[in-house]
A and B are shown apart, each in its own frame.
Chain A
């Protein structure tokens, strides 16, 4: 029996969250088959072997260059059958999670999303999920023979354990009905570090006073190879794009390091960052609630501290 891992790509490159999914699957101690859909660079696919995939399937159907939820679920259903896989693992993402839902309903699998640790298989198959927006966890048992799980970022570390493998071309015949939704266009920030996948996030709040002051945060982010984020009012006022909004009603991040600048630390904001490994808070108000959730804190004026911090990091490199 094999594990099937769905790997996502963007601009021909495998996404980091999907490599984590392959590493996660390897941690389960069974043969791992990875499957990628649409246009992906050959070397990227082969490299999945280094992260532990014994087999890499690639469906090069042009219609799958875009992430069509239903069509993707159809392909994965067929691949699970052909690979004799009972378990499908996907990254928790804007594509992975909806695809997971559709395929789970199709094949009658037990479904758990937002899984944060390797399953416990000593008695049954039990996973730990993050719930209440990071404020709690639930241990749930998946009792059906077929299982679909989506894993949150940082649920597994990327580990090189093997060598590149040959890619196996794979085809599934898809009907018009699988493409009932059409993607007409897409807008994507290119070349930047994407917020949901970043290892380091530099985030600004209303304390930054206006969009014209973001350049100091961008400089810091660039120095750290970090993504930029913001609080809800900042994106509501149009200072920053909506996809940078972090929190309960925005992106939930789980980076190694989250640097919050001029953000008060409202509970709804904290809900989006409480899975970060380390939190640094810079705020001029010593009473700002964010300090209670922080690992390191500096009380002071962001406009003075941030440029100095950027310089100090450059100097330490």
Chain B
């Protein structure tokens, strides 16, 4: 079985977000980058499937050269080889198109992604790839088991979950508790250095999306503290000032 795991290279969840170039470019100054937290779940599940059923796991990122340490980390966690499609991940369709074009001739049995990236927050790349490849896509997936060609999944819905079945090939956008995040061990880190990392040039496409500018939210006004023995004041503020109750 061939599994493709698509990972993002995103700012650490504690990062402060800033922009440069007149608010058109992310300011990576002093920012630590990680594998997207949801992608990390996808990768962990892929490595589990490799351990239990001998799958071959490829990790893929659409990004510029600076994302290679993130791909190496995925190799250290247990992927067998890595692919970097050498382009700025401008928008969801552009990324999905690159993934689909790369994956089509290889014919992966399973394509695992995160439910969403924590930079673009689109939640759409898996659906786009599924449609471009003409195979089912399911997201957000909390459980995924494979029995021969049949996949059993559970998908989170508002206030609950659904159990589904489908045949391979399939695209899944993953989230917890599909697997536990894996931390690379020393052996993994050593072997990652020599595992193959293929760089592929992107294909031309027009996604019909043009970024105009980024914007930061207005700073929050300071908190109003209320004495703990005066909850009535809170109720009155919520009613008369915030006009909620």
Q: Answer whether residue A298 sits at the interface, using C-beta atoms and an 8 A cutoff.
A: yes
Classify the secondary structure of B's interface with A. Answer: mixed
A53-61, A96-104, A154-162 - interface stretch: A96-104
> In chain B, residues 126-146, which have Cβ atoms closer than 8 Å to a Cβ of chain A?
126-128, 130-132, 136-140, 142
Determine how close the nearest CB of chain B comes to the CB of A246; give it in whole angstroms.
Answer: 13
Q: Which of B30-58 contact A (CB under 8 A)?
A: 37-38
Let me know if A278 and B244 touch, CB within 8 A.
yes
Contact partners of B82 in chain A: CB under 8 A: none
Contact across chains for B167 and A313 when beta carbons are under 8 A apart: no
Q: Are B131 and A106 in contact (CB under 8 A)?
A: yes
Decide if B176 touches A242 in the complex (CB within 8 Å). yes
27 contacts between A and B (CB under 8 A): A67-B162, A100-B127, A101-B127, A102-B127, A103-B131, A106-B131, A111-B93, A128-B215, A131-B119, A132-B11, A139-B213, A144-B208, A180-B136, A184-B164, A186-B161, A196-B158, A243-B156, A243-B159, A268-B13, A280-B234, A293-B220, A295-B224, A296-B242, A299-B228, A300-B228, A304-B228, A309-B234
Q: How far is the CB of B203 from chain A (nearest CB, A)?
A: 15
**Within the assembled complex, what's the spacing in Å between the Cα atoms of A207 and B175?**
26
Interface size of A as a range: 35 or more
Q: Is the CB of A316 within 8 A of B235?
A: yes
Is the Cβ of B244 less than 8 Å from the Cβ of A140?
no
Q: Is the contact region of chain A dominated by helix, strand, or loop, or is it mixed?
A: mixed
Bound-state CA distance A20–B96 (Å) is 29
A312 contacts B235, C-beta separation under 8 Å: yes
Q: Which residues of B contact A (CB under 8 A)?
A: 11, 13-14, 17, 19, 37-38, 91-93, 96, 118-128, 130-132, 136-140, 142, 155-167, 173, 175-177, 207-217, 220-221, 223-228, 231-232, 234-239, 242, 244-245
B contact residues around A197 at 8 Å (CB): 158
**Contacts A142-B209, A183-B162, A313-B235: A136 and B216 contacting too (C-beta < 8 A)?**
yes
Contacts A136-B19, A136-B217, A298-B231; is A101 near B124 (CB within 8 Å)?
Answer: yes
| Interface residues as binary, A132-145 with B (CB distance below 8 Å gives 1, 0 otherwise) | 11111111111110
Chain A residues, Cβ within 8 Å of B124: 97-98, 100-101, 104, 111, 113
> Within the assembled complex, what's the spacing in Å between the Cα atoms of A297 and B93?
43
Question: Within the assembled complex, what's the spacing in Å between the Cα atoms of A84 and B182?
Answer: 49
Check A112 against B209 for contact (C-beta < 8 Å): yes
Contact of A292 with B by CB under 8 A:
yes
Residue of A nearest to B91 (CB): A140
Q: Which residues of A contact B120 (CB under 8 A)?
A: 131
B217 partner residues in chain A, CB cutoff 8 A: 134-137, 274
For residue A14, CB closer than 8 A to chain B, the reply is no
| B225 CB, min distance to chain A CBs, angstroms | 5
Q: Which of B127, B211, B242, B245 has the most CB of A within 10 A?
A: B127
Q: A101-B124, A297-B225 are in contact. Are A138 and B231 (CB under 8 A)?
A: no
Stretch at the interface among A26-34, A42-50, A167-175, A187-195: A187-195
Are B244 and A256 in contact, CB atoms less than 8 angstroms apart?
yes
Q: Is the CB of A81 closer than 8 A to any CB of chain B?
A: no
- Residues from chain B with a CB closer than 8 A to the CB of A192 are 159
Query: Chain A interface (Cβ within 8 Å of chain B)?
Result: 10, 15, 66-67, 69-70, 73, 92-95, 97-106, 108-114, 126, 128-144, 180-189, 192, 194-197, 200, 224, 242-243, 248-249, 256-257, 267-268, 271, 274, 277-278, 280-281, 291-301, 304-305, 308-309, 312-313, 315-316
Q: Are B162 and A137 within 8 A (Cβ)?
A: no
The distance from the CB of A76 to the nearest CB of chain B, in whole angstroms, is 12
Q: Is A102 within 8 A of B131, CB to CB? A: yes
Find out whether the CB atom of B226 lies under 8 angstroms from the CB atom of A297: yes
A292 to B11, CA, bound (A): 22
Of B17, B128, B220, B236, the residue contacting A132 (CB under 8 A) is B17
Alpha-carbon distance between A133 and B120 when the two chains are bound, in angstroms:
8
Q: How many angstroms from the CA of A183 to the CA of B215 in the assembled complex?
A: 40
A138–B122 CA distance with the chains assembled, in angstroms: 12
Cβ-closest chain B residue relative to A120: B212
The smallest beta-carbon distance between B154 and chain A, in angstroms, is 9
